[in-house]
Chain A
Amino acid sequence: MKIERRAFLKLAGLSAIFGLGGTALASSAKQAPAYIPDPKELAGKRWALVINMDKFQSEADVRKVIDVCHTIHNVPTIPNTKQEVKWIFTEMMENVFPEQEDKFLTEHYKRMPFLTLCNHCENPPCVRVCPTQATFKRKSDGIVMMDMHRCIGCRFCMAGCPYGARSLNWVDPRPYLDPNKINPEYPTRMKGVVEKCTFCFDRISIGQKPACAEASNGAIVFGDLQDPKSDVRKVLAETYTIRRKPELGTRPSVYYVIGGKKDAGKGA
């Protein structure tokens, strides 16, 4: 059996407590160097996205965003749709907003695929139901995180998420990655754990916007909801936006501009 680093450290800690580690406890008084954040790290208290569906003209625009995200995060392409892993993906408007059912919707929106991803809810049901805190909301900036080394694969979070944003690795995902495109900067995953969009917390920590926002040509705006001067707050102040299933009280951090002004979010 392979012992993971975390498990080894725990074992070492326990043995230290019970005196098995000899002088380990005494020597631990020496402070380990604290984590020093990158000075370029973006500062925000509650990250959010505004997806301006008016700025996506074709399916190709949308596809580009998905490809960028899935490539840099080593998201596998699994042909069996039942076992797909997806972080950001498309659904038709009537499926993303089923409660907005309207048969007289404009032709453009009847045909246009909508982007959807983890909403990084302020009140996330997935976090509430997880029995191991493998999924948790980061206190500093509200990102709903995923510890894939702790996840037991019980899939309570998948049942709990009302947005279908979570995927289990039903099989080993690695054979479904293009070996020429694997991003060595980002870990690949093992079978039996749940994953989802992480709002590019790793990019934020080095001063970069989430990949989808960067690849969207301004159609996806990223910013801090708590900061009235942020890009997202500017769009929200100017344009009418909606969120998915707000009646469930999850308070999503992903907003949609639909049929707004053509220049909505231009200031961003």
Chain B
Amino acid sequence: MLEKALNGGKLYWTWIGFLLAVFGVGFLFYLQQWNVGLGITGMSRDVSWGFYISQFTFLVGIAASGVMVVLPYYLHDYKAFGRITILGEFLAIPAVIMCVTFIVVDLGQPFRAMNVLLHPTPSSILFYDTIVLNGYLFLNVLVGWTCLHAEKKGIAPPKWIKPFIIISIVWAPFIHTVTAFIYAGIPGKHFWLTAIMAARFLASAFASGPALLLILALIVRKFSKFDPGSEAIQTLGKIVTYCMIINVFFLGLEVFTAFYSGIPGHAHAFHYLYAGIDGKGVLVPLMWLSTILAAVSITMLVFPQIRKNETLLAIACVFVFFSLWIDKGFGLVVGGFVPNSFERITEYWPTFAEFSIGLGVWALGFLILTILYKIAISVKEESGGEAIH
């Protein structure tokens, strides 16, 4: 099936070339980081995780969200998702690859990454994260490829794949729960030390992931002969709506506890992120942008009339995606480090090199996504898009 990725028009190859160029720029900056060290980033002794780890965190959510189309289709026989399950699975694959790449570019000694497997440490959440992420990658490659191959041949997927599908459905919430545990189990970081962290992670993942999938489905429809189907798109829209509301509700719970309790440590990060402390508040505009995008998108999404207009639905989903990208892909990680253990404010902002490396990782992800989608869509165009169940 891979040969289908080599068969594209001018637009396809321009897009591939563009992604390769962005990836190349990121790679050059990574060589600089390799030589100089993580000192070329904006990270510091006080804010020791930044753009890379926050992007990793956000992308685990995108990867996990594939389950939102896989589950209704396989467990509830929801036929409308039959046409897009492969899009969900093939979104999860590049998302996990980006996660792993972000972890590797964040390491001070990337050559030693295998130490995590050479010296397995059951007390470390990062150890479990390594296992569940790679396991999830394997499951999605296996399930996605097997089902697509069956579709190409016009036969039903083999029976042995079913247990793997069930496992992948259970596995998906796990990868994001484990990722939340990286933060939620650390003593002394009030912003992260909250039992609701994993629940927040899942809610935001199941809003941002389907939002991205919906946008991708619309792009696929525009640029190919394969139509993911209006019903599937509308159902995705409803999933985004509910999960986004739940996500904002959870954030509200955090705000209540932090401020009503009056315990300074619990409110510090919120003060820093949304108002700034002692005139330091480089993230304040971003956090308010996230808040406004969340408010506008929810307002748009709750009205069925707006949601039924696919253009407005797409705009709302772009807002959801960027709102959560800022909130989780930036504020959540940085906010945990500010103020530091001495209640001093050290600010963080990524450097140009750091940002370029991050962009390069995204380009790598989109490159893999493009190739996988190209293959899937070519198969779908030939088969008429209907998977045999």
Q: Could you tell me which A residues sit within 8 Å of B by CB distance?
A: 1, 10, 81-84, 91, 94-96, 98-99, 101, 125, 127-134, 150-156, 158-164, 167-172, 191-194, 245, 248-250
A169 and B341 CA atoms in complex are apart in Å by: 19
Query: Are B187 and A129 in contact, CB atoms less than 8 angstroms apart?
Result: no
- Given A168-B48, A250-B187, 12 extra CB contacts under 8 A: A83-B39, A129-B126, A130-B124, A132-B121, A151-B109, A152-B112, A155-B106, A168-B38, A168-B108, A170-B38, A191-B108, A192-B107
Considering the complex of A and B, which 10 residue pairs feature the smallest CB-CB distances, nearest first?
Answer: A153-B108, A162-B188, A192-B108, A82-B44, A171-B39, A164-B341, A191-B37, A170-B39, A95-B342, A131-B126
Asked if B123 is at the interface (CB within 8 A of a chain A CB), the reply is: yes
What are 21 A-B pairs at a CB distance below 8 A? Answer: A1-B111, A10-B118, A81-B45, A84-B45, A94-B343, A95-B342, A98-B265, A129-B123, A129-B124, A152-B112, A153-B38, A153-B112, A156-B124, A156-B126, A156-B182, A159-B48, A159-B49, A164-B342, A170-B38, A170-B44, A191-B108
A96 and B344 CA atoms in complex are apart in Å by: 10
Asked if B186 is at the interface (CB within 8 A of a chain A CB), the reply is: yes
A214 to chain B, nearest CB (A): 26
Asked if B113 is at the interface (CB within 8 A of a chain A CB), the reply is: yes
B212 to chain A, nearest CB (A): 27
Which of the residues B111, B116, B123, B336 comes within 8 Å of A159, measured between beta carbons? B336
Query: Are B126 and A154 in contact, CB atoms less than 8 angstroms apart?
Result: yes
Majority secondary structure of chain B interface residues (helix, strand, loop or mixed) = loop
Q: Kindly report which residue of chain A lies nearest to residue B186, judged by CB atoms.
A: A160
A151 and B115 CA atoms in complex are apart in Å by: 8
Query: Are B109 and A193 in contact, CB atoms less than 8 angstroms apart?
Result: yes
A254 to chain B, nearest CB (A): 14
Interface centre among A81, A155, A172 (most CB of B within 10 A): A155
Q: Could you tell me which B residues sit within 8 Å of A by CB distance?
A: 36-39, 41, 43-46, 48-49, 103, 106-113, 115-116, 118-119, 121, 123-127, 130, 182, 185-189, 264-265, 336-337, 340-344, 346
Query: Are A150 and B112 in contact, CB atoms less than 8 angstroms apart?
Result: yes
Q: Kindly report which residue of chain A lies nearest to residue B47, judged by CB atoms.
A: A82
A158 and B106 CA atoms in complex are apart in Å by: 14
Query: Are A151 and B108 in contact, CB atoms less than 8 angstroms apart?
Result: yes
A245 and B346 CA atoms in complex are apart in Å by: 21
A163 and B185 CA atoms in complex are apart in Å by: 16
A127 and B39 CA atoms in complex are apart in Å by: 24
Neighbouring A residues of B121 by C-beta, 8 Å: 130-133
Query: Are A132 and B116 in contact, CB atoms less than 8 angstroms apart?
Result: yes
Which of the residues B38, B118, B125, B188 comes within 8 Å of A129, measured between beta carbons? B125
Query: Are A133 and B187 in contact, CB atoms less than 8 angstroms apart?
Result: no
Q: Kindly report which residue of chain A lies nearest to residue B187, judged by CB atoms.
A: A248
Query: Are B187 and A83 in contact, CB atoms less than 8 angstroms apart?
Result: no
Q: Kindly report which residue of chain A lies nearest to residue B127, judged by CB atoms.
A: A131
Neighbouring A residues of B48 by C-beta, 8 Å: 155, 158-159, 168
Query: Are B37 and A169 in contact, CB atoms less than 8 angstroms apart?
Result: yes
Query: Are A171 and B36 in contact, CB atoms less than 8 angstroms apart?
Result: yes
Interface centre among B41, B112, B126, B185 (most CB of A within 10 A): B112
Q: Kindly report which residue of chain A lies nearest to residue B337, judged by CB atoms.
A: A159
